Structure formats: C-alpha cells, structure tokens
Structure 1
Amino acid sequence: MNGAGTTFFIALCTVLIGAVFGAVVGLVAGYVGGWFDEVVMRINDMLTAFPSILLALIFVSILGPGTFNIILALGILFIPSFARIVRSEMIRLKELNFVKSARLMGAGRLRIIFVHILPNTYKTLLTTVAVGFNNAVLAEAGMSYLGLGVQPPGASLGRMLLEAQSYLFTAPWSALFPGITIVVIILGFSLISEGLGEENA
C-alpha cells in the first residue's frame, strides 16, 4: 500500500504542476495571441516533438534519481499538453458574448482571463487531468522500474516491480500485486476520463 501511495502522490503532484502552469501559459497565450502566442506554441511544439518519457529520462539523468526530481521532470513535461488544450479553449471562449460584455464593462485582461474564462474551462481541464494522471502513473512506474525514480528505502509500484524481478520464479506474487494495482488505477481513471468526456460532449 505504501508503494501505491507513493505512486499516487507522484502522479498527483505531476498533474498539478502540469495543470497549473500549463493552464496559465495556455490562457495567457490564447488571450494575448500574436507573436507571444506564436513563440509559446513553437516552444510547445519543440517539447512535444520528442517522446516525453525520453525527455524525462534525460532530465532525471541530469538531476539525479529521487522522488522530488521525478516529480519535477514529469511536471515540466506535462505543461505543454495542458497549455495546448487550455489555449484552444481560450481561443474559443474569448470570442463569446459574455467575454465581450466583460470587456465593455471595463474588466481588465487578468480579470477576464482568470475570473470569466478560466472557470469555463474546468470540464475540459478535468478530463485532461484524468488522462494526465494515467500517463503520470505509467511514467513513474516506468522510470522507477529503470531505477531512475523512487530510491530505497522508499517504495513505489515501479520500484516494487524492479525489486520483484529477482523473485519472479520463486515468489511471482511480489510482481503480480503491484502490476495489478497499476492496471486497476489506469482502468479506474480511464473510466473517469471517459465519463467526463461524455459529459462534456
């Protein structure tokens, strides 16, 4: 259970970093537009052009293994996906009548972005968070399995799978339980994201 808790914590922190910073970047870029939006999106494209797990491995190799470093590396890599989705919502919403009315009433940019538009992106954001959580669980498990994530005496699902390799034939359940836990988490959050997606449709 301790391993599952650690994996859950890392995934949650990763998604929070990606969602918070990604939402801010996406909202500002989408609202301001012009050259600023173009620059932000080109940086976004450069980051997403490479496999995220590969970039995470590079970051952790530079920073060193450990819980904090894996959260930092994965969190940074999750920012572009959230930024792109929130930016798309911003571009759609900023032309609607309620935003135009807020402008006519003298609302400033920050108020329009964070008070009028941001609350209307929460459904899309929640769906993205659920999908991102799944990806974060898999990324953490993969990196800890490679020995670049949680270090002893800490435990995570990926670390448990790594250590269970030595007992695969003598005690196969030591690998079975963390593996099943990962599958259950992924399936659970997949169902949540699917439900949220249907609600938004």
Structure 2
Amino acid sequence: MRSVITAAAAAALFVLAGCGSADQAASTTDAPKPGAQAPAGDEVGAAGSACPMPVTFKVAAKWKPQASTSGTKLGGAELLCEIDAKPAGSIGYVRVLLAKGVTDPMAALGAYTAVGKNSGFAYTDVQAGAVAAKEVTYTAKSMDVDLPNQVLAVPVGGNVALVTISSIDADLFKEIQPAFELAKSSLKLTA
C-alpha cells in the first residue's frame, strides 16, 4: 500500500512541478535559513555524469539524479534531469529543463509558469555560480493546496536552462530548498 501511495504522490508532484505559489507561508522551527545550502554530494551535468546537460552543479548529498529520455515537456521546456530527494529522506525534486531556441530567461520563465493556476510571482536577478540569471518564486494551486515553487533561468548556448524545485507541501519545500541553493551557487555552464 505504501508504494502505491508513494507512486501516487510522486506522480502528483511531477504534474505540479509547473504549478506553485509564493503566497504560502508555512512555519516550522526547524526550517533552514534563507540561502542555506545542503551538504554537497556528486556533481551532475558533465559528460559521463548521471545527467549530461548544458549546466553542471553540485547535487545535495544522498539525492539521486536521473536523466530523462522521455521527451517530457513542462511549460515548453524539455525535461533533462530529475534529482530526487527520497534517498535523502525527504520528498521533492530539483529538475533541470531546457527551453530550446529561447534566449531570454524572462520569456522562458513566463512560458514555464504560464501552465496551471499560479500566482504571487516575484522575479529577481541572481547569480548562479558566476552566471547572471533570473529567478522566480510563485505559488501553484493544486487540489485546493497552495504549493511554493522556485525556478532559476540561465541563458546557455542560444537556449535557457531552467532549474526548478518543487515538493508536495510548504514544509517539505522549505526542507529541500537548501538543495536548490547548493545547485544555484555551484552552477557552471558546460555549453
């Protein structure tokens, strides 16, 4: 029964990846501080890694990267890699997508976040490693639940790489957010 529930939760999380909200405010006493980074594990993105991509970054310890060969698209961007928090004892994903033929990070973010019932958009200019990037936080509504989401957009070789983070509730989102911050701070271009 647990595997059925876990599979259903994972499927729901995948569908919700492009839907989210920054209006959700959950509080936990153990929530990581904003900008906190997870302990580093392996690097992903280089040729020969679990997910060869146009960007590389450190994956949080115990998280499991898996390349996508399905051609799945979310908000017009192709899913390249999905990094699962389950082996580290949490529920959520860092995903990397590629918006092909799009050179403007804001256009890529706009197309990605246009899918679903999203609100509360907050855009910022950020550094991803040494690369200038755009980031959006927002809230997705799914089944009457507000889910926080965060997406980083990095221009790379005539395309835009999107690095996303999502989970099934606000508390888990906060728990896994340091993995996203680690990816963002260690990001490098490979293309």
TM-score category of the 2 structures, normalised to the smaller one: under 0.3
Q: Which has the higher helix share?
A: 1
Determine which structure has more spread, i.e. the larger CA radius of gyration: 1
TM score, norm. by length of structure 1: 0.26
TM score, norm. by length of structure 2: 0.27
